[in-house]
A and B are shown apart, each in its own frame.
Chain A
Amino acid sequence: MSKDEIIILDCILSPFCMRVKIALNEKGVSYESKEEDLFGWKGGKSELLLKSNPIHKKVPVLLHNGNPLNESSNIVTYIDETWPSSSPLLPSSPYERARARFWIDYIDKKVFETGGKIWRSNGDEQEAAKKEFIEILKQLEEALGDNDFFGGERFGIVDVIAIPFSCWFYAFEKVGGFKVEEHCPKLSNWEKRCLLKESVGSVIPSPDMVYGFVSSMRNKLGLE
């Protein structure tokens, strides 16, 4: 049986890249990661990235035997469909799948952008972003309900999509002056539960590392 060649065009701090790595880990599929220079500190984005994702020019890109795939949620779905027998990530019923896709879409539209507004601003703008962010997390906590995971009893696709943001929460909290745990205790417990999984813990960088990056960006933007 020929071996699959799987390469991720990656960025260690990108929650979107983390999703792809977690999904591959869940499936027990090995891959090679190539770190991209997104900010041009060491020569800029690679030729391979620009060729594989010419429209968006973004990470992650998954190259499966040379065939490129873009958009992290799309890639995670592809991984689930390509290796269907190990650890299914999507639920089996059409309605539950639609529900999972709804929350993936919600998370994609709201979480990172609003979190970004917190650290990219100060004063009133930051306050407004912080309030919006907390509302978004409360919405997600409601969707989680009393389940261990968004996937119910088992870690599923919505968990894969959402958990990478947890390492960014500390940065949002420090800059915005709030604590996720105080507003959304169930969500905090869910985070801890997910981070215990080897497939997750081995991929997610420390919150301090993310905060270091955010802090230096705020300096560059003249916000600190």
Chain B
Amino acid sequence: MAKDEDVKLVGSWTSPFVMRPRIALNIKSVHYDFIQETFGSKSPLLLQSNPVHKKIPVLIHAGKPIAESSIIVEYIDEFWSSAPSILPSDPYDRALARFWASVVDQKFFTPMKASMGAEGEAKKGLMNQAVEAIGLLEEAFGTLSRGKAFFGGDHIGFVDIAFGSFLGWIRVAEISNGMKLIDAAKTPGLDGWAQRFSAHDAVKDVLPDTAKLLEFSKLLAAKLKEKH
């Protein structure tokens, strides 16, 4: 069995996708070497370990690379299979968890990211799409949590990690745009959940500092606008 020293994660403190495996590794109490990429360039290690997509995160376990954040999280859950489990055990519940994680990526993240490089009416439209997605997730939280603290029930699960990894960026967007995406009035379920998730032992040290992330977001917005 591979030792914990054989676990490396290539990523960046700013990336929500990188946060996902970091949370998962923390849940499993696995120590790892965090190798940070420099913004704006890709290291030889990254290009060699993820030649197809050339993106972070990449988990390198005993020399073997695994790419794509959700795939890495499932791998962590399966390799370090002792409790707590990240995915539920029932196949239908697992399918639901995977479905909602993909809703986070497709319906929330895609318009949210696009809105950063947009302006005026276009930006407004994209932000509205992201807000609609949050509405869907509020409903999903009600159903999946079954009255408990997290989407995963008593413990943080797959959907918690998928959506919770965006909380730092959600706060930045709220400050930058002078509006609330998650609030006690419109999304009470998610509001309580966000506070509990952020305070969780497996999360609190990897959730980026809002002020630092806000500074970084200005750099990123400039870069995204350049591409248009």
A residues near B, CB below 8 A?
55, 64, 67, 69-71, 74-75, 77-78, 81-82, 94-95, 97-99, 101-102, 105-106, 139
Is there contact, CB below 8 Å, between B67 and A94? no
CB proximity to A under 8 Å, residues B81-115: 91-92, 94-95, 98-99, 102-103, 107
**A74-B102, A101-B74 are known contacts; what are 4 more A-B pairs with Cβ within 8 Å?**
A74-B95, A74-B98, A94-B79, A101-B71
Is there contact, CB below 8 Å, between B95 and A69? yes
B residues near A, CB below 8 A?
52, 61, 64, 66-68, 71-72, 74-75, 78-79, 91-92, 94-95, 98-99, 102-103, 107, 136
Is there contact, CB below 8 Å, between B95 and A105? no
Minimum CB–CB distance for B51 against chain A, Å:
10
Is there contact, CB below 8 Å, between A55 and B75? no
- Nearest-neighbor residue (CB-CB) of A142 within chain B: B52
The listed residue (B75, B92, B95) touching A98 by CB distance below 8 A is: B75
**Which residues of the other chain, A, contact B91 by a CB distance below 8 angstroms?**
78, 81-82
Is there contact, CB below 8 Å, between B95 and A77? yes
**Which residues of the other chain, A, contact B107 by a CB distance below 8 angstroms?**
55
The listed residue (A67, A94, A101) touching B92 by CB distance below 8 A is: A67
If A81-B94, A94-B78, A98-B75 touch, whether A105 touches B68 (CB-CB below 8 Å) is yes
**Which residues of the other chain, A, contact B67 by a CB distance below 8 angstroms?**
102
The listed residue (A71, A97, A139) touching B75 by CB distance below 8 A is: A97
Interface residues of chain A: helix, strand, loop or mixed (majority): helix
If A55-B107, A94-B79 touch, whether A102 touches B68 (CB-CB below 8 Å) is yes
Is there contact, CB below 8 Å, between A105 and B103? no
CA distance A128 to B75 in the complex (A): 36
CA distance A77 to B75 in the complex (A): 15
Is there contact, CB below 8 Å, between A98 and B98? no
Is there contact, CB below 8 Å, between A77 and B98? yes
Is there contact, CB below 8 Å, between A74 and B68? no
The listed residue (A75, A98, A106) touching B66 by CB distance below 8 A is: A98
Minimum CB–CB distance for B64 against chain A, Å:
6
The listed residue (A64, A70, A139) touching B99 by CB distance below 8 A is: A70
**Which residues of the other chain, B, contact A94 by a CB distance below 8 angstroms?**
75, 78-79
CA distance A78 to B94 in the complex (A): 8
**Which residues of the other chain, B, contact A82 by a CB distance below 8 angstroms?**
91
Is there contact, CB below 8 Å, between A101 and B78? no
CA distance A98 to B64 in the complex (A): 11
**Which residues of the other chain, B, contact A97 by a CB distance below 8 angstroms?**
74-75, 78
Is there contact, CB below 8 Å, between A55 and B136? yes
- Nearest-neighbor residue (CB-CB) of B91 within chain A: A81
Is there contact, CB below 8 Å, between A78 and B92? yes
Minimum CB–CB distance for B73 against chain A, Å:
10
- Nearest-neighbor residue (CB-CB) of B136 within chain A: A55
CA distance A77 to B71 in the complex (A): 13
The listed residue (B71, B78, B79, B95) touching A102 by CB distance below 8 A is: B71
Minimum CB–CB distance for A196 against chain B, Å:
29
CA distance A81 to B88 in the complex (A): 12
**Which residues of the other chain, B, contact A74 by a CB distance below 8 angstroms?**
95, 98-99, 102
**Which residues of the other chain, A, contact B98 by a CB distance below 8 angstroms?**
71, 74, 77
Is there contact, CB below 8 Å, between A98 and B99? no
**Which residues of the other chain, A, contact B99 by a CB distance below 8 angstroms?**
69-71, 74
CA distance A81 to B74 in the complex (A): 14
Is there contact, CB below 8 Å, between A101 and B68? yes
- Nearest-neighbor residue (CB-CB) of A100 within chain B: B71
Closest 8 CB pairs of A and B: A81-B91, A94-B78, A98-B75, A94-B79, A78-B95, A101-B71, A98-B66, A82-B91
A-B contact pairs, 23 of them (CB 8 A): A55-B136, A64-B92, A67-B92, A69-B99, A70-B99, A71-B98, A71-B99, A74-B95, A74-B102, A75-B95, A77-B94, A78-B92, A81-B91, A94-B75, A95-B79, A98-B66, A99-B66, A101-B74, A102-B52, A102-B66, A102-B68, A102-B71, A106-B52
CA distance A98 to B67 in the complex (A): 8
